[in-house]
Amino acid sequence: MAYISQYEYYQNEGNSPEDVNWGSYQYISLKDIVVNYQLMYSGNHSLVNNEERYKILFHAKRAIQELNYDAFKEIKVLQLDVSESLRFILPSDYVNWVRISYYQDGVIRPMVENIQVNSANSYLQDNNYKILFDEYGNILKPEQSPLDLARIQGQKPSIYLNSLSPYNGLLGYEYEGCWYFDFAVGARFGLNTETANSNPTFRIDKKAGVINFNSAMAGNSCILEYVSDGMENGDDTQVTVNKLFEDYVYAYISYQILNGKLGVQEYVVNRAKKAKTALLRNAKIRLSNIHPGRLLMNLRGKDKWIK
Amino acid sequence: MINDIRNTVLAVLNKNNYGYISPQDFNLYAQQAQMDLFEDYFYAYNYQVNKENQRTSGTGYADIKKGYAEVIDFFSVTFNLSQVGANLDKFFLPSISTTGSDYYLINKIFIGSTELERIEQSKILLLNSSPLTAPSTMFPAYTTEASTATIYPEPLVTTNVACQYIRYPKPPKWTYVDLGSGSEPVFDQTQPDYQDFELFPDDATDLTMKILQYAGVSIREASVVQYAGAAEASETNSEK
């Protein structure tokens, strides 16, 4: 892509939205990657020759997907209110979650993932526990399983230290909805730290594509921080990659093509593999953003008196 | 160039009264010879690429490949493609029956500044079914079938679909004025159907030898065929 003017960068040449090009110089587009690769790394005198463009495109996208999973650190954030059904439908470009919080009174409270199952499928059964079928032989299912129903109705006790805990109200005290120093918690050793959290809990049902919360989340606002694969819902024009990873993407494409090609010497494949790995490492270090100023702030604590 | 070549051919053929070929026969042999040499350009180009990869060719004036590329580019044509009826995704390829111009090979089809990728018929369904490779407006593709090209995805604007192709060289035609029986036809390049060879002058020797081979076969003169074959082989070897 050609360089853009300052006017186009700052104000999108008077068009809306104004901010469309802000920060764009950090990134290189998918089209540029494919075109650059075809020009510079593929051809009569290159290791890669006579390869279809769709193969280069495929490997470029795969490289970007892999980078999005861990190396990029580009977190997407989505905030939605949770309805009475206690479900949060995963975003269409969701791949994995980073953190899930609920937002209350201007405070973001990170939630913990419930270690217990909180949602299930269920089949209708008769008095003899036989599964019921319809006239076509399909299993009859209730709208909600007993487990789901109990959770939604707030009848399912929680092993976490929130209002649904069986210990709730026994000992200790409640202050503005939060419990402190419950009997089984702070007053004795043996606290189960895994469940020592008073916030609502969640569990992700990947196949169903939803996050199921406990009943404390009804009506609350949920903030989902997640990673995507960078494919921008199939819109190739929006797919970009940070310039720090540009060389890695080229190396990745070369390696994948050479690795899958018949008759390429093993040392050539290994060379491509090493180049790919080294460039990924370099790019990760570059992107880690170890700034002296940030280190300085941490190191200032070294003189702090510890009681 | 065509008259010089014909004179040379006739001079060789008529030596020792071996024989004579008519203008009609000469034109047929000339067309055949030109096509042979034209196709050889592509093989020669590929040969030079391989030589470069073996590091046995040079740059500058020693860059033989560049010369072949220039000759091939001489036959390059860029042509706007027209839609097939109301189909927004189908376009006529250049051919005698559809557009009046024939192509030897299509080098590229493009929409504006975006080049389309040619996809084999055996791959297009697979390509379309994969989210990562499905053709998009940024990376469009096309398939060919008979004299039409199908574009994926359907282009938003159908007026700027064009192709760049390498056309066949025009059939050479030595035109003449007939002075009656007993007289030699006289070369006349003012005739409307006159067409000189389109190959470059440095191919005149090859053309002559090729035509001589065909003519030698025609008049059943083995020595002519052998001489012309050997001369052509020698010429080809010296150019490698």
pLDDT exceeds 60 at position B3: yes
The answer to whether the Cβ–Cβ distance between A31 and B138 falls below 8 Å is yes
Q: Can you tell me whether residue B207 is helix, strand or coil?
A: helix
Indicate the residue of A30, A44, A61 with minimum beta-carbon distance to B49. Answer: A44
Q: What is the pLDDT of residue A256?
A: 96
Indicate the residue of A34, A52, A58 with minimum beta-carbon distance to B132. Answer: A58
Are residue B83 and residue B158 in the same domain, yes or no?
A: yes
Report chain B residues touching chain A, CB-CB < 8 A: 49, 52-53, 117, 119, 127, 130-134, 136-139, 141
Chain B CB within 8 Å of residue A43 CB: no
What digits encode the pLDDT tens for the residues A8-58? 999 998 998 898 888 888 899 999 999 999 999 998 888 998 899 999 999
Residue type, A95: V
Locate A65 and state its tokens. 């997907």
Locate B233 and state its tokens. 């082989």
Interatomic CA distance for residues A124 and A142, integer angstroms: 6
Are residue B147 and residue B214 in the same domain, yes or no?
A: no
Q: What is the pLDDT of residue A188?
A: 46
The CA-atom distances, in angstroms, between A143 and each of A120, A147, A201 are 11, 12, 23
The one-digit pLDDT tens for each residue of chain A (307 residues) are: 678 899 999 999 899 889 888 888 889 999 999 999 999 999 888 899 889 999 999 999 999 999 988 888 788 999 999 988 899 999 998 999 999 999 988 999 999 998 888 889 999 999 999 999 999 999 999 998 999 898 888 888 888 877 777 766 665 666 777 666 555 554 445 567 788 888 889 999 999 999 999 888 888 999 999 999 888 888 888 899 999 899 999 999 999 999 999 999 999 999 999 999 999 999 888 888 778 888 888 788 787 777 6
Q: What is the pLDDT of residue A135?
A: 94
- As for the ipTM of the complex, it is 0.82
Provide the residue range defining the domain that includes B61: 2-71+170-239
Indicate the residue of B53, B117, B131 with minimum beta-carbon distance to A54. Answer: B117
pLDDT confidence tier of residue B233, bands split at 50, 70 and 90: confident
Q: What is the pLDDT of residue B219?
A: 62
Are residue B163 and residue B88 in the same domain, yes or no?
A: yes
Domain edge (last residue) among B167, B200, B228: B167
C-alpha torsion angle, residues B109, B111, B113, B118 (rounded to 10) = -30
pLDDT exceeds 80 at position B69: yes
Are residue B199 and residue B152 in the same domain, yes or no?
A: no
Mean pLDDT to the nearest integer, B145-174: 87
Are residue B152 and residue B81 in the same domain, yes or no?
A: yes
Chain B CB within 8 Å of residue A189 CB: no
Are residue B83 and residue B159 in the same domain, yes or no?
A: yes
Instruction: Find, in chain A, the residue whose alpha carbon is nearest to that of B48.
Output: A44
Whole-model pTM: value is 0.82
pLDDT confidence tier of residue B163, bands split at 50, 70 and 90: very high
Q: How many CB pairs under 8 A join A and B?
A: 39
Residue type, B52: E
Are residue B156 and residue B207 in the same domain, yes or no?
A: no
pLDDT exceeds 70 at position B129: yes
Tell me the nearest-neighbour CA distance from A208 into chain B, angstroms: 21
Chain B CB within 8 Å of residue A63 CB: no
Q: Which residue has the higher pLDDT, A72 or B100?
A: A72
Are residue B109 and residue B152 in the same domain, yes or no?
A: yes
First to last CA, chain A: 59
Q: Which residue has the higher pLDDT, A171 or B130?
A: B130
Instruction: Find, in chain A, the residue whose alpha carbon is nearest to that of B135.
Output: A54
Locate A163 and state its tokens. 């209002």
Secondary structure (DSSP) of chain A: -----HHHHHHGGG-SSGGGGTTGGGEEEHHHHHHHHHHHTBSTTSSB-S--HHHHHHHHHHHHHHIIIIIS---EEEEEE--TT-EEEPPTT--EEEEEEEEETTEEEE-EE-SS--------B-TT-PBPB-TTSPBP--SS-HHHHHHHTT-S--SSSSTTSTTTTTSSEEETTEEES-TTTTSSS---GGG---S-EEEEETTTTEEEE-GGGTT-EEEEEEE--S-GGG-GGG-EEEGGGHHHHHHHHHHHHHHTSTT--HHHHHHHHHHHHHHHHHHHHHHT---HHHHHHHHGGGG----
Mean pLDDT to the nearest integer, B13-28: 79
Are residue B161 and residue B217 in the same domain, yes or no?
A: no
Locate A160 and state its tokens. 């976490």
Are residue B179 and residue B127 in the same domain, yes or no?
A: no
Are residue B133 and residue B19 in the same domain, yes or no?
A: no
pLDDT exceeds 80 at position B180: no
Number of domains forming the structure of chain B: 2
The CA-atom distances, in angstroms, between A24 and each of A8, B51, B141, B194 are 11, 43, 28, 60
Mean pLDDT over the full length of chain B: 85
Are residue B53 and residue B95 in the same domain, yes or no?
A: no
Indicate the residue of A58, A62, A236 with minimum beta-carbon distance to B136. Answer: A236
Tell me the nearest-neighbour CA distance from B124 into chain A, angstroms: 11
